[in-house]
Amino acid sequence: MHGSGRYYIRSGVGGKGWGLDLGVATKEINGMRFGVSLINALGTIKWNEPSFIKDILAGKDKKFGNSDDLWHLKWGGKALSDSVAAVYTYTIDSLRADNLSSRTIFNSKSEVVYNLDENGKPKPFNIRYPSIFRMGASYKKDDLLISTDLTTGFENRLYANSRWRWAIGAELYRYPVMPLRLGFAWEGMDRTELGMGIGFHGGPVMIDIGFSFKKGMWIHSMKGFNFSLGFTMTDFKGRKEKEEPKTDGPSPVPEESLPNNEDGLEESLPSEDQEQNPPNRK
């Protein structure tokens, strides 16, 4: 058995970029809604550009990648700043059953190199974010909301997976200030997850907390856990429910109760002489 590998390692701090999601959803029909979306249809993150996070970590001299930094990633005792990178290589030579204990069959080497272009500037360090396709539906009745979706990625990286994943969840609005959530996801027998969450909605503030067992249904079978926290700020008008049109207005007068005027309405209207010479009133 022979083998070799080469890894190019760069450190990214304070990345920034842009993204675009596309989607459509139907209006509510008998409590049901349907939708389809493409998450990260376009999206790129740039890592080696100025950012306020990098300025905070850079320390007093405002230069990231030296000894006074609050934090930076090191490789071989040297900080991996925007202008340097680490290169790690290895080789496997003649691996056989009779020499598994030999130390000469595996060789590795690492070094820190400058990562600059011909003008002496750091080479671009951009990451294309993977896209995720999603289609789902929901049903709402009284204080209960049930939703389900089916998702898949197009590549296996950055939390995207090319396998189909089905999820279903329920949200209880019995107490509007504190909605409760419970959900289940299935991505094959080896990738089942159980999640739960709670929200605190008061005035214009919405705080949502979520927790799930990673690749497991119970504490003893999980391979870690996922935790999420969401904060939303709205205006007071946005949180109010839309008022239904009122139907308690004045009722029309029945036709039978109108005064009987066989000669029509013309007799009740003033003539031209009356309009020009109105009668004197005391």
Residue 254 lies in a domain: no
Strand order in the sheet with 84-92: 3-9, 84-92, 106-114
Residue 203 lies in a domain: yes
Residue in 13, 87, 80, 18 with CA at minimum distance from that of residue 52: 13
Q: Report the pLDDT averaged over residues 109-133.
A: 88
Q: Of residues 265 and 191, which shows the higher confidence score?
A: 191
Bridge partners of 147?
138, 169
- The pLDDT assigned to 149 comes to 95
Looking at the fold, whether 106 and 141 belong to one and the same domain comes out as: no
What three-state secondary structure class fits 238? helix
Domain count for the chain: 2
Looking at the fold, whether 113 and 181 belong to one and the same domain comes out as: no
Those residues with Cβ within 8 angstroms of residue 154's Cβ, 6 or more apart along the chain or in another chain:
130, 131, 133, 160, 162
Q: How many C-alpha atoms does 29 have within 13 Å on its Cβ side?
A: 7
- The pLDDT assigned to 61 comes to 80
Looking at the fold, whether 156 and 112 belong to one and the same domain comes out as: no
- The pLDDT assigned to 265 comes to 47
Residue 16 has pLDDT above 80, yes or no: yes
Looking at the fold, whether 115 and 178 belong to one and the same domain comes out as: no
Residue 259 lies in a domain: no
Tell me the torsion sign for CA atoms 50, 53, 59, 65. negative
pLDDT grade for 242, boundaries at 50, 70 and 90: low
Q: Of residues 230 and 280, which shows the higher confidence score?
A: 230
- The pLDDT assigned to 136 comes to 96
Residue 119 has pLDDT above 70, yes or no: yes
Looking at the fold, whether 193 and 160 belong to one and the same domain comes out as: yes
pLDDT in tens, 52-70: 888 888 878 878 877 788 8
Domain that holds residue 22: 3-128
pTM of the predicted model, to two decimals? 0.63
Residue 34 lies in a domain: yes
pLDDT grade for 150, boundaries at 50, 70 and 90: very high
pLDDT in tens, 168-196: 999 998 888 888 999 998 887 677 888 89
In angstroms, the CA 272 to CA 74 distance is 101
- Report which residue type is found at 89: T
Distances 207 to 68, 97, 202 between C-alpha atoms, Å: 37, 58, 9
Q: Report the pLDDT averaged over residues 98-103.
A: 66
Residue 21 lies in a domain: yes
Please provide the average confidence, as pLDDT, over all residues in the chain: 81
